Structure 1
Amino acid sequence: MTHKALFFGAIGTLAETSDMQRRAFNAAFDEAGLSWNWGETEYRELLKTPGGKRRVRDYADARSQSVDADEIHARKVAHFKRIVGEEGLQPREGVLALIDAAKRGGLKLGFVTSTGQEQIDLILSNLGGIDAADFDYIGERGKVENSKPAPDIYQDALQALSLKAEDALAIEDTPESAEAALAAGIDCVAFPGGDARGRNFPEGTIIPDGPLGPELLNQPQAAE
């Protein structure tokens, strides 16, 4: 049997944006008068904590500093928008072919992210070959109380699409986000981006032998 839905679980499963995000954070820190500067190695470690605002808060707490994480994150989003406008976005390898195969096969498509709506709109309006109309479900932070690695956003997607957990196949780019899919009982494929390559994904995650592509849809459906 095949799955009935394919869930892309994060911005990073559609496009490589981590370095853009890192540079946007640094621009926001500078604008806020902070001496923080996240290098590539440090940012890779910080990404183990999902959620940009939470990263800022935790970073400040670790340094006994008081900051307005909401304001800093808003500045970061503005800088990220600027960088995307200047540099553009390209889908990750295999994503367009996979989406096309899923649509031709009659699968429902979900973008099951718990990031903010502004960033979601930015990505989907600037990513060539992909837009909001491709998805039957689009998540965002306001839909759930708990962000990943909690399973809430996946549970919301299943409910919205009238699906059972075994009906869906998720794609995630970090171990923490993969935990969310697995906790919801959904089969999950690891598709690590540049900042997550070499990291260990949770037990039970499907590790493809090659690049992402239409053959992924041949994964067997989970047994009920």
Structure 2
Amino acid sequence: MAVDVSNYKGLIFDMDGTLIDTMPSHLRAWEQTAEQFHFPFDQEWIHSMGGMPTQKVAMQLQARYHIDIDPQKVADTKTGLFAHLIEDGSIIKCTFDVLKQCYGEKKLAIGTGSNQTNAFKLLEHNGILPLVDVVVTAADVINHKPNPDTFLLAAQKLGLKPSECVVFEDTEIGRQAALAAGMDCIMVKDGQLYA
């Protein structure tokens, strides 16, 4: 489905699962981490946490399964495993096409829950970094998705009001963050865009 973004001055894209198909790599890294730390691996639940920083997911795991793990150690392990799988992610064509079409015409930002190092590696590896004006990662905000801070900071750095921006997201947590920021949200599902 083609989406009309003509009413917006700024486009803010989530990264994982929205612009770059990294979810299989993230899930593989989580599965390997679960084996190392002996906690259950629920692929669907982990996927639903998409957009949330790794350490916060580890804290959620601790609460969900009532297990005694060090969330920082779990997060560091998962991040390290993912770093080895980083080049497995491929471009998601429907959103990348929108980004390319709007390059030079609208202000473009990335608003991701990924850590800074992995985010910049992924964006660079896929040729996206030179196309965007602003990148906001987990390191740039305290309150992550579903809180609106990631997207509000992206809009602020673009010099735009929230109402002048639209967000592209693939998770419910991300959609909640966009709506909480006062922005419209276009969802990406199975390689299609849904306004």
Same fold (TM over 0.5): yes
In the alignment, is residue 136 of structure 1 matched against residue 133 of structure 2?
yes
Of residues 21, 35, 39, the one that matches 1:36 is: 39
- What is aligned with 1:90? 90
- What is aligned with 1:174? 171
CA distance in 2, matches of 1:43, 1:150: 18
> Is this contact kept in 1: 2:55–2:72, CA < 8 A?
yes
Q: What amino acid does structure 2 have at the position aligned with 1:18?
A: M
In the alignment, is residue 158 of structure 1 matched against residue 163 of structure 2?
no
- How far the C-alpha of 1:58 sits from its partner, in A, is 2.3
> Is this contact kept in 2: 1:22–1:38, CA < 8 A?
no
| Runs of at least 5 residues in structure 1 that lack an aligned partner in the other structure | 195-210, 220-224
> Is this contact kept in 2: 1:16–1:193, CA < 8 A?
no
> Is this contact kept in 2: 1:11–1:123, CA < 8 A?
no
Q: TM-score, normalised by structure 2?
A: 0.85
Q: TM-score, normalised by structure 1?
A: 0.75
Alpha-carbon distance change, 177 to 158 in structure 1, aligned in 2, over 3 angstroms: same
> Is this contact kept in 2: 1:10–1:113, CA < 8 A?
yes
- 5 Å-filtered alignment, 1:87-126, equals 88-104=88-104, 106-126=105-125
Query: How many residue pairs were aligned?
Result: 190
- How far the C-alpha of 1:22 sits from its partner, in A, is 1.4
Q: Deviations over 1:177-206 (max 9, x none)?
A: 111111111111111359xxxxxxxxxxxx
What is the alpha-carbon root mean square deviation over aligned residues?
2.4
- What is aligned with 2:181? 184
- How far the C-alpha of 1:143 sits from its partner, in A, is 1.6
Q: Deviations over 1:51-97 (max 9, x none)?
A: 32222222223333221211211111111121234xx3211122332
- How far the C-alpha of 1:162 sits from its partner, in A, is 1.3
CA distance in 2, matches of 1:181, 1:49: 12
Match of 2:83, SS state, is helix
- How far the C-alpha of 1:49 sits from its partner, in A, is 8.3
**Structure (1 or 2) with the larger CA radius of gyration:** 1
Alpha-carbon distance change, 144 to 190 in structure 1, aligned in 2, over 3 angstroms: same
User: Which of 48-57 and 21-30 deviates more?
Assistant: 48-57
Identity within the alignment, %: 22
- How far the C-alpha of 1:123 sits from its partner, in A, is 1.4
Alpha-carbon distance change, 62 to 6 in structure 1, aligned in 2, over 3 angstroms: closer
